[in-house]
Structure 1
Amino acid sequence: MSELFSLNHKRILVTGSARGIGRLLAQGLAEHGAEVIINSTQQDKSQAVADELNAQGFKAHAVAFDVTDSSAVQKSIDFIEQNIGPIDVLINNAGIQRRHPFCEFPEKDYDDIINVNQKSVFIVSQIVARYMVKRQQGKIINIGSMQSELGRDTITPYAASKGAVKMLTRGMCVELARYNIQVNGIAPGYFKTELTQALVENKEFSDWLCKRTPAARWGNPEELIGAAVFLSSKASDFVNGHLLFVDGGMLAAV
């Protein structure tokens, strides 16, 4: 049974993993035996995280690239495959948020959200999947959101981008499952992170959140690690095209 969830000998690339939830996932995956590849747009920040993990006795590498630049992604994935080793698991975690009322939403902010949250999933997955198809195995995990299913004030483009990630996950599953590649998603609910700190400190919002969530609290980021381990491990070999909600039951109750 220990092998079922073991990540020993698994090489996992986590995009956007120099901070936030991506950094936390990289740590948790490393603690379960994975060799992790840290990514952000800046090599020094990526390397700092990799150095921290290596100092703890884990195996980590830093490869910086812009997930929205197909040429940079291609060069970086080729480098990883040829110099670090085959990518067994890809976690598309990189994402951004912008908040404006719908009628005032700047087109530039809309474009940035779609490029980072949606287009990058397509670009990075496509390039990594070409290698996985040749090996006839692999796992891709897309980080979605509860907003894959729900709308909310001031974040309509974000919700649209995460809805698209849900359908990218399903479409990729249909096309890649025949090559023994599992494509799934993790959809977090409301978690205490640096991006949600203002909402956490807003008593009115926090009170509303706790009333609407069956678990009656915010999620702690560490509670996402189990889902990532499951979808990265042998335990999920026949799970495909699935969006795993980690939301304290909120979606079930709304």
Structure 2
Amino acid sequence: MTGNGVTGSDVPYEKVAVITGAGGALGRATALRLGADGFAIGALGRKSGELDETAAQLVAEGVPVRVLEVDLRDAQAIEAAITATNADFGPVEALVNNAAIYPSTPFLDIPLAEYDDVVTVNQRGYFYAAQVAARSMVERRSGAIVNVGSITWNGGWSNLASYVSTKGAAVALTRALARELGEFGVRVNAVSPGAFPTKAEEIQGDAAEYSAHVIEHQALKRRGTDAELAAVVAFLVGPDSSFVTGQTINVDGGWIMK
């Protein structure tokens, strides 16, 4: 784990959030929204350049931020990053498990090493980040965890069996943790994004063709924005959802309705 230090004012802060994959489009939008809502941000991710861009945007908005370059394959780095955020800003009140990898390979051709890698990042990484963050949340009898799933687990997507299975696991983990941690005042929910126009769409081929495919399947005939997903995450970690736990909200323009 590497970090670039803290940008902000005095500690501790009343609200502190850790976001994994904070350098990507959805993670950055979430960081900016939670920052606007008064959270100090621990921005975790693998690519320092993307994280630095997230940090620069947060700093421009006056949001305290700590950038932590972390590979979710490294459990010790995950723990160190959350511990560092606690030390810099105060107790973590919200965790957003957002980072994921998504290799596109036909099921019959997926090497076991590729599958193991996806599970390590998308499933074990979520599990361990939640476990580390929840320990202090349980002590304080307060906290919120949001796991970012995907609508792909509802209907299956070709060539993404490893990714889809881990996103189903994220929903299952959400329900298990909500049940177990509820008595301690810790809420756990999930959001399942639809097809947002991010770098992940590069695996789908022609961008215009895929966008038309998305809009055809959605009830709302436009593409969603990163800020719209971030708004749902903000709701789930904020006070307006204080009696909501164990739920999965599809943020997909009405593609999946169940």
The equivalences for 1:215-226 within 5 A come to 215-226=220-231
- Name the structure 1 match of 2:140: 135
How far apart are residue 201 of structure 1 and its match? 3.6
Distance change >3 Å, CA 55–CA 219, structure 1 → 2: closer
1:14 to 2:19 alignment: yes
1:193 aligned residue: 198
Question: How far off is 1:108 after superposition?
Answer: 1.9
Determine helix, strand or coil for the equivalent of 1:9. coil
Task: Identify which of 165, 168, 171 aligns with 2:173.
Answer: 168
1:46 Cα shift? Answer: 3.1
CA 15–167 in structure 1, closer or farther in 2 if over 3 Å, else same: same
Instruction: Give 1:230 shift.
Output: 0.4
- State the TM-score, normalized to the length of structure 2: 0.88
- Indicate the SS of the match to 1:173: helix
Partner of 2:150: 145
User: Which stretch shifts more, 19-28 or 182-191?
Assistant: 19-28
Q: State how many pairs are aligned.
A: 246
Counterpart of 1:4? none
Q: Report the equivalent of 1:5.
A: none
What secondary structure does 1:251 align onto?
A: coil
Q: Which deviates further from its counterpart, 119-128 or 27-36? A: 27-36
Measured in 2, the distance between the counterparts of 1:194 and 1:216 equals 21
Identity of aligned residues (%): 31
- CA-to-aligned-CA distance 1:49-88 (integer Å, 9 cap, x gap): 3243113322222122222322222222222222321100
Aligned to 2:248: 243
CA contact (8 A) 2:97 2:126 kept: yes
- Provide the alpha-carbon RMSD of the alignment: 1.9
Query: Structure 1's 72 and 247: CA in aligned 2 closer, same or farther, altered over 3 A?
Result: same
The correspondence for 2:124, drawn from 87, 105, 119, is 119
Q: Secondary structure at 1:145's aligned position in 2?
A: coil
Distance 1:206-1:75 versus aligned 2 partners, 3 A rule: closer
2:184 maps to 1:182: no
More strand by share: 2
Please list the CA deviations of residues 98-142 of structure 1 after superposition, one character each: whole Å capped at 9, or x if unmatched: 101111112222111111111101011001111111111100000
The answer for the alignment partner of 1:38 in structure 2 is 43
The 2-side partners of 1:198 and 1:168 are apart by 27
> Per-residue deviation at 1:208?
2.9
Is 1:107 the counterpart of 2:112 in the alignment? Answer: yes
Please identify, of 46-55 and 34-43, the stretch whose mean Cα deviation from structure 2 is larger.
46-55
In 1, Cα distance between equivalents of 2:195 and 2:53: 28
> Compared with structure 1, are the counterparts of its residues 105 and 87 closer, same or farther at alpha carbon in structure 2 (3 Å cutoff)?
same
Picking from 55, 62, 66, the partner of 1:57 is 62
Matches within 5 A, 1:84-99: 84-99=89-104
Rounded to whole Å, the distance in 2 between the matches of 1:41 and 1:191 is 21
Which is worse superposed, 154-163 or 22-31? 22-31
Q: Unaligned stretches of 5+ in structure 2? A: 1-12
Q: Does 1:78 align with 2:90?
A: no
Task: Note the C-alpha offset of 1:184.
Answer: 0.3
| Secondary structure of 1:66's aligned partner | coil
Q: Which residue of the partner structure matches residue 29 of structure 1? A: 34
Asked if the contact 1:199/1:206 (under 8 Å) is kept, the reply is no
Aligned partner of 2:215 among 196, 210, 213: 210
